[in-house]
Amino acid sequence: MTNRPDVLIVGAGFAGMYALYRYRNLGFNVTVIEAGSDVGGTWFWNRYPGARCDVPSLEYSYGFSKSLEQDWDWPEVFSAQPDILKYANHVADRFDLRQHIQFNTRLVALEYMETDNRWRATIEHTAESKEQSEPAAQIEAQFCVMATGCLSVPNKPVLPGADSFTGTVLHTGLWPKEPVDLTGKRVGIIGTGSSGVQAIPELAKQAEHLTVFQRTPVYTVPANRKAMRAAVQQEFRDNYDDIREMQQKNAGGVSNFRPVRSLRRPRSDNAVRQEPITAIPSTSLPASSLSSVAQAPNAILSLTPEERLEMVTERGLNTLLSFRDVYNNTEANEAANETFRQALGNMIDDPEVSARLSPTTYGLGCKRQVLDRDYYDTFNRDDVTLVDVIDTPIETITRDGIRTNEKDYDLDVLIYATGFDAMTGALLKANIQGRDGKRLADKWQDGPVAYLGLQMHGFPNLFTITGPGSPSVLCNMLVAIEQHVNWIGDCIKYLGDNNLESIEATPEAEVDWVAHVNEVAEGTMYTTPSCNSWYLGSNVPGKARIFMPYVGGYPRYREQCEQVVANGYEGFCLG
Ligand code: NA7
């Protein structure tokens, strides 16, 4: 049986859901396929304890529906995974989206059929879908929109002996739907990126003993932990028109709107104090859930080492992120790194543990800023052990746990918090074959080549939402998603209105765009030689090292997309 919609959307996370809503409203017949059993994408799969968003919820929410904006209550300023998933479910119900979504349906291959100008998707149904009645085995659509997410393919290192472990194995990015009871369990976790840092304090509370296997120490700062106050939420609601406009003008797609009317305690001199709810140092976007960004001088180098440490001791580690020179001057960066390490020395009881937790091989600003709740305090607990796998490498996984070159660690549960094959993983996994049988995997062998992160030469009518070369993960994802979905929707409509059937990036336009993406990333902390991050693909063995997101800022990018349209879809071939 073959289903033939106008538009096939792959993925029912926030991108796929909005794309479905929008394209259906434009009059297209739309089908969405989703491997999971429900909507939510990232927030469906990442259910590990402590999972939380690092952008404030009043901004990390859809802007397309004014009534939705006015109705939805967020319990916290920075929501936890269950609340974000509830929101996704609410949106699916409210706009009656599920009727067009085939859940438990995985894309196995996607092939362009030139004679029909259609994309043929071969799909497979996961175990949970068996009860569905005769789902289509193939879908053929004129347009295909990959809404597959930037962080959706878990990266799981191949460790010797991994299959021999007899305990429970989990990955933070594929956490089970059913609750996992860790009471009385000896738990091991590999990885100390955002996921590990969020999970570790929660796992320590639940487990009998937690052993953390760390390869690279992280720079993490305290997250904002505020509950949502009704008055603040109302003030946002009253100002949403302005807020959405401000998002469009901000490099990271956040408005940084400061409530004024709902301030709890105005100062006695009646001066207006702005509450730092969404404070984001523009240089460390999108690390927006800082507990506070205290006023600090612009340059860390204007302070003595003693003054720096005193400031951080008084105001917290996140103060270091507010110095502008930290992100564009290597001497200032190292001054901040050194202050960070010194501060850790004062926070961690055991000097050896403190030394192991101190990053030395790279600087602040290289990776996405990590935010935590009680991460460092957790290492002062007697029931938490930190193992440095650079000093004492993992030799093998055994039946009973992990063996390093120093000792055996017996475990009941082994958790991989080892991240994702970011930005390109899901697109390459889809076995995409374009014109003349050209495989996307071959085209992208040396790194992704795409025009505006939206489209690729050789792959007509195939679009990527928040694809490599667009601001994507350096922007508030909801803002980036809405802009891409709207652009693609307008484009498809334009083709129909003008009796055109296809659109395809020219080879020159995509090569020029990739050069521009690299050019703007050059000289930033993201691309210093000492920096290894998933932005660069360097977390996945064998992956080409290339900076994938667009760092030139969301407004500049958006204007470029608008200009391309104003110039008659410049850089694209229409036919
Ligand atoms: P990250 O940030 O890629 O972190 C993965 C962690 O796993 C990191 O500490 C890695 O160490 C570690 N890792 C990966 N492979 C290994 C092996 N083979 N041995 C030991 N340790 C390993 O992923 P997250 O899921 O935490 O966060 C991804 C994004 O999701 C985050 O930035 C937010 O945007 C949400 P390494 O640093 O590579 O030495």
- Is residue 236 within 8 Å of residue 255, measured between CB atoms? no
At 105 the three-state DSSP class reads strand
Q: Which atom belonging to ligand 1 lies closest to the Cα atom of 191? A: 7
Contacts by residues 403-412 (CB-CB < 8 Å, ≥ 24 positions apart): 409/188, 409/211, 409/385, 410/186, 411/165, 411/167, 411/186, 411/187, 411/188, 411/211, 412/167, 412/168, 412/185, 412/186, 412/187
What DSSP string runs through 272-303?
Answer: -PPP-SS---GGGTT---BS------S-GGGS
**Which protein residue has the closest C-alpha to ligand 1 atom 36?**
216
Q: How many angstroms separate the CA atoms of 274 and 543, rounded?
A: 44
- 467 CB within 6 A, ligand 1: no
- Strand runs (DSSP E) across 408-486, as ranges? 408-410, 413-416, 432-433, 462-464
- 378 CB within 6 A, ligand 1: no
- Could you tell which of 53, 174, 215 is best to mutate to test the pocket of ligand 1, judged by most ligand atoms within 8 Å of the CB? 215
**H-run or E-run covering 340:** helix 330-347
What percent of the chain has pLDDT above 70?
Answer: 93
**Which protein residue has the closest C-alpha to ligand 1 atom 25?**
419
- 195 CB within 6 A, ligand 1: yes
Q: Which residues of the chain have pLDDT under 70?
A: 128-136, 265-296
- 50 CB within 6 A, ligand 1: no
Residue 289 confidence (pLDDT): 40
Give 173 Cα–ligand 1 centroid separation in angstroms: 11
**Which protein residue has the closest C-alpha to ligand 1 atom 33?**
194
- Nearest-Å Rg of the Cα atoms of the chain is 24
- Could you tell which of 43, 171, 195, 397 is best to mutate to test the pocket of ligand 1, judged by most ligand atoms within 8 Å of the CB? 195
- 171 CB within 6 A, ligand 1: no
- 389 CB within 6 A, ligand 1: yes
Structure tokens at 88: 């996704």
Give 534 Cα–ligand 1 centroid separation in angstroms: 8
**Burial (0-12, 13-18, 19+ Cβ within 10 Å), 541:** exposed
Residue 485 CB partners (closer than 8 Å, separation 6+): 15, 18, 19, 22, 465
Q: How many angstroms separate the CA atoms of 115 and 217, rounded?
A: 53
The dihedrals phi and psi of 463, each to the nearest 5 degrees, come to -120, 150
- Is residue 187 within 8 Å of residue 203, measured between CB atoms? yes
Is it true that the peptide bond before 286 is cis, omega within 30 degrees of 0?
yes
Give 286 Cα–ligand 1 centroid separation in angstroms: 18
Give 379 Cα–ligand 1 centroid separation in angstroms: 19
Q: Which atom belonging to ligand 1 lies closest to the Cα atom of 368? A: 32
- 198 CB within 6 A, ligand 1: no
Q: How many angstroms separate the CA atoms of 196 and 202, rounded?
A: 10
Give 371 Cα–ligand 1 centroid separation in angstroms: 14
- 199 CB within 6 A, ligand 1: no
Give 420 Cα–ligand 1 centroid separation in angstroms: 8
Structure tokens at 228: 């949502």
Give 31 Cα–ligand 1 centroid separation in angstroms: 34
Quick: pLDDT tens for 22-56: 999 999 999 999 999 999 999 999 999 999 999 99
**Which protein residue has the closest C-alpha to ligand 1 atom 24?**
419
Residue 126 confidence (pLDDT): 87
- 472 CB within 6 A, ligand 1: no
189 in the Ramachandran plot: left (φ > 0), alpha (ψ -120 to 50) or beta? beta
Give 193 Cα–ligand 1 centroid separation in angstroms: 4
Structure tokens at 43: 């927030």
Helix axes 305-315 and 330-347, enclosed angle (nearest 10)? 50
Give 331 Cα–ligand 1 centroid separation in angstroms: 27
- 154 CB within 6 A, ligand 1: no
- 539 CB within 6 A, ligand 1: yes
- Could you tell which of 45, 189, 194 is best to mutate to test the pocket of ligand 1, judged by most ligand atoms within 8 Å of the CB? 194
- Could you tell which of 216, 539, 543, 548 is best to mutate to test the pocket of ligand 1, judged by most ligand atoms within 8 Å of the CB? 539
Residue 129 confidence (pLDDT): 59
Q: Which atom belonging to ligand 1 lies closest to the Cα atom of 195? A: 26
Give 535 Cα–ligand 1 centroid separation in angstroms: 11
Quick: pLDDT tens for 286-338: 334 444 444 567 899 999 999 999 999 999 999 999 999 998 899 999 999 99
